[in-house]
Amino acid sequence: MAKPLAPTRSARNNLAPETLVSSLAVVLLVNVVQRSVGFGRAVLFCRWLEPEQLGYWEMAYSFLLLAAPLAVLGLPGSFGRYLERYRQRGQLRLFLRRTSFWTFLLAGSTVALLAWRRADLAALVFGSPDRAGLALGVVGCLVVVILHHFFEAIFAGLRMFRVVSAMHFTQSMSFAAVSLTLVACWRAETASVVIGYAVACALSIVGVLSWVALRVRPEAEAGDAVAHRDFWPPLMRFAIWVWVTNLLTNVFGVVDRYMIVHFGGFDTDEALVQVGNYHTSIIVPVLLISFANLLVGAMTPHLSHDWEAGRREAVSGRLNLVLKIGTLVMLSAGVVLLALCPLLFHLAFEDKYDAGLAVMPWTIANCVWFSLLLVAQQYVWCAEKSHRATPPLVVGLVTNIVLNLLLLPTLGLLGAVAATAAATLLTLLTQLYINYRTGMQVHRGTVLVAFAPGLLTLGPTPAAIGVVVLFGLALARGWILTPEERSQIGATAIQRLSRFTTRLGHSAP
């Protein structure tokens, strides 16, 4: 095995990684700004688009999220785990050259196949082959979405989250500007939104490539060449299981929409109206999943670094703490959403989506559970046992489909959302058990808070009371936070406060 090499001066100047705290700070700051813009964009979509067109966009977007990682067999998904290893060995260019070739080959083949079978794609995604033209536009959008995810994965693997955050920021702002302009001035249809999304991804790609051209100087390979038989087997074992996991995760995330379209007993137009209602119920709660995705992207390289250094207990400790604190924070946010969203539906959506408001408590709970699942999966990924993220998703997906078949015909949209929420909770609990069997020290408090998001389905007042009780248990006893975790949080808070007051002192005249 080649020995890790110290980073060169050029590498430090060009591609210097960031600390975990710095990464999370940048991610959180940019996330607040861009999600605020994204929320305003989503509100205007709901106001300006008819429910049916909103349903078309929800199905198109769900397809893009599902197809982008699947088209490339999850290969960029391995960057967060393996890119740092090859970088330390001085083989970064070799790693990127080989993975880029196969990523683009797989993506091109998939896009060509989907464009050829666009009528079948339209029937699958939109419930009717008559929307083949829209399906072709979505396939064109898929090309730039794959490229955007590819470059994002590279810089995330390099722990350069300022660049990743800049890409997200550019994409979000451009999407709002272009799509809203097209909806307002051209067509108030899904096609305008799809074009806007493609243009936004393209602008983000152009921006990051320009930055690379101006800031990064080419470097010669510092490490020994790696034979393909030594390079690909461990990488592809990980990548394939990431691909399977992404497939199951993304299918799990969108299966209820497809159940509504194909098994809800509605005609095509009414089914898409129900999907539009579903979209309005989730535009605010989905911010929690977006936050979790960014958190996972920032955590993975750092957890991998701890794992490679042999600090397995540190990985368990960090994941337990993030799951506990994340649950309490997202549960508190959910209570606020339950209290404020009726006003949003009345003023911003003009009471067009009462069905979406009715199911919102379940969508919020589901989004919290799904966010926790994304974080919990990181342990088996760090352990290079990504295949162990598959059984929980299979259990959850089967449960989701069965419950949808039982509840959707009688309860309609509420049945679909409740089925998904129950299946997500079961998936999370199964993943925690798998983590425990893999070696993670799962704390009692982690299991306890896993059930807490169910309080949101009871309404804002019972949920608020539950949050107060949980915070009391976290601060007063060892039911949730261990004494070590409370000490760690306190020490970190004091350290950050000390730095803040010191900076204020230096800036004072």
Residue-wise pLDDT for 236-266, tens only, equals 777 777 777 778 878 888 899 999 998 888 8
Tell me, rounded to whole angstroms, the distance of Cα 214 from its chain centroid.
30
Which residue would you say has higher pLDDT here, 165 or 122? 122
Distance in angstroms (rounded) separating the CA atoms of residues 454 and 282:
16
Q: What pLDDT, on a 0 to 100 scale, did the predictor assign at position 198?
A: 96
Q: Decide if pLDDT at 146 tops 90.
A: yes
Domain boundaries defined on the chain: 15-225, 227-500
Rounded to the nearest 5°, which phi and psi values hold at 285?
-60, -30
Q: Is the pLDDT of residue 217 over 70?
A: no
Question: Both tokens of residue 175?
Answer: 């999407």
Question: Residues 90-115: what's their mean pLDDT?
Answer: 84
Q: How confident is the model at residue 73 (pLDDT cuts 50, 70, 90)?
A: confident
Kindly indicate the confidence band of residue 135, based on its pLDDT and cuts at 50, 70 and 90. very high
Tokens of 423: 């299946």
Q: What is the mean pLDDT of residues 22-32?
A: 59
Query: Which of 6-10, 41-45, 311-315 is most confident?
Result: 41-45
Q: Which residues are CB-neighbours of 416 under 8 A, at least 6 positions away? A: 256, 259, 260, 264, 278, 404, 407, 408
Mean pLDDT throughout 288-305? 77
- State the average pLDDT over residues 124-143: 93
Q: What is the pLDDT of residue 479?
A: 78
pLDDT for the residue numbered 493: 63
- Per-residue pLDDT band for 228 (boundaries 50, 70, 90) equals low
Which carries the bigger pLDDT value, residue 75 or residue 438?
438
pLDDT of 509 over the 60 cut = no
pLDDT (average), residues 168-195: 93
CB-based contacts of 7, cutoff 8 Å, min separation 6: 87, 88
Which residues are within 8 A (CB) of 114 and not within 5 positions of it... i.e. 6 or more apart? 67, 121, 139, 142
The pLDDT of 145-156, averaged and rounded, is: 87
Q: Average model confidence (pLDDT) for the chain?
A: 82
- 3-state SS of 145-196 is HHHHHHHHHHHHHCCCHHHHHHHHHHHHHHHHHHHHHHHHHCCCCHHHHHHH
* Band of residue 205 on the pLDDT scale cut at 50, 70, 90: very high
pLDDT band at 2 (very low <50, low <70, confident <90, very high): very low
Q: Which H/E stretch holds residue 360?
A: helix 360-376
Q: Which of 247, 252, 155, 151 is CA-nearest to residue 204?
A: 151
Residue % of the chain over a pLDDT of 90: 35
pLDDT at 426: 96
At a CB cut-off of 8 Å and minimum separation 6, what does 149 contact? 68, 69, 76
Mean pLDDT, rounded, for 201-205? 94
pLDDT score of 56 more than 70 = yes
Where is average pLDDT lowest: 51-60, 146-155, 174-183, 389-398? Answer: 146-155
Over the stretch 404-444, which tens digit does the pLDDT of each residue have? 999 998 999 999 999 999 999 999 999 999 999 998 988 88
pLDDT at 8 over 60: no
pTM of the predicted protein model: 0.74
- What integer pLDDT is reported at residue 9 of this predicted model? 41
